Amino acid sequence: MLSELERILVRTLGSGQTTLTVLSKEWLSDSFVRVTVDCGQLFSFTPAFPTLWLRLWFPAGDASWHQRAFTIVGADEQCGRAHIEFTLHDGIASDWARAAEPGWTIQASLLGSKTPWGLRVDELAISKSKPIVLVGDMASLPAMNSLLGTLVTTPITAVVENRLASDAQVPVCASSRHQVIRCQHDSGPSVTDVAAQCVAQSSDSPRVWVALEAGKTRALVKRLRADHGITKTDLCSLGYWKAVA
């Protein structure tokens, strides 16, 4: 009942509604899968932009629906296609991605997705001089890749936290202007320490984008603002998931 009320509320708030149709599926590692979809009417009410995300409605066995947010990657507006990438674990969205086959459909809502740092899409595209530090993990890697794929001439350092050995098989969309640093969550320097060091070593005050587990995101944001003077304007952050104690 609650999930149905959520769907009604999202519609009431003016969300754009579309149906995604599965076209193909590609395993990038044993725990990361890319699903290519036809986006239906999506690009008739929004242009594609980096970190664009949708609320997908996954059906549960009790006839209820559960929403999960996923980034649209590699969008081709002319063909109306894009990728949705899943870091697999236990859960309804991962179960759907494992089983998905061409022809499957899923309902999607567009509500709340914005470009990073409060910039317009055209401003983001021409924002090439100011260095950027991206900090994320496998859950937020699709969003990181959408930024890297757009800002190919911008000096960017991307700090990525791996959790599984197979995570290293999943490509980071880096150009010659980008530096990629991978951290292992259970060994070596922590992703937050490495990210803070990258910010400190930047030749100019950078824009920073942080999308880690919620607790790590909060801690790093607090550290960057207190110790490194990163302003609210130059800091974009979102806890992508929450660890279960």
Dist CA 216 CA 237 (whole Å): 11
Q: What is the pLDDT of residue 13?
A: 40
Structural domain count, the chain: 2
Dist CA 89 CA 31 (whole Å): 8
Range of the domain at 178: 116-237
Record the tokens describing residue 205, joined without a space: 């005050």
DSSP 8-state secondary structure symbol assigned to residue 205:
-
CA distances to 21, 53, 103, 136, 199 from 240, in Å: 25, 12, 29, 9, 21
Cα 63–67–68 angle (5° rounding)?
135
Q: What is the pLDDT of residue 194?
A: 97
Say whether both 179 and 100 belong to one domain.
Answer: no
Here the CATH number for the domain that contains residue 34 is 2.40.30.10
Domain boundary among 47, 78, 110: 110
Q: What is the pLDDT of residue 39?
A: 97
Q: What is the pLDDT of residue 128?
A: 60
Dist CA 215 CA 67 (whole Å): 22
Q: Of 46, 21, 45, whose CA–CA distance to 35 is shortest?
A: 21
Dist CA 40 CA 108 (whole Å): 10
What does each of the 245 residues of the chain score in pLDDT, given as a tens digit? 445 555 444 444 445 789 999 999 999 999 999 999 999 999 998 999 999 999 999 988 777 788 999 999 999 999 999 999 999 999 999 999 999 999 999 999 988 788 899 887 777 766 666 899 999 999 999 999 999 998 988 999 999 999 999 999 999 999 999 999 999 998 889 999 999 999 999 878 899 999 999 999 999 999 999 999 999 999 999 998 888 76
Q: What is the pLDDT of residue 6?
A: 55
DSSP strand pairing (65-76 vs 53-59): antiparallel
Q: What is the pLDDT of residue 111?
A: 84
Q: What is the pLDDT of residue 15?
A: 57
Using a cut of 0.85, tell me whether the model's pTM lies above it.
yes
Here the CATH number for the domain that contains residue 216 is 3.40.50.80
242 inside domain: no
243 inside domain: no
Say whether both 83 and 32 belong to one domain.
Answer: yes
Q: What is the pLDDT of residue 125?
A: 65
- 3-state secondary structure at position 78: coil
| CB contact at 8 A, 147 and 209 | yes
Characterize 181-191 residue by residue with b for buried, 16 or more Cβ atoms within 10 angstroms of its Cβ, and e for exposed.
Answer: bebbbeeeebb
36 inside domain: yes
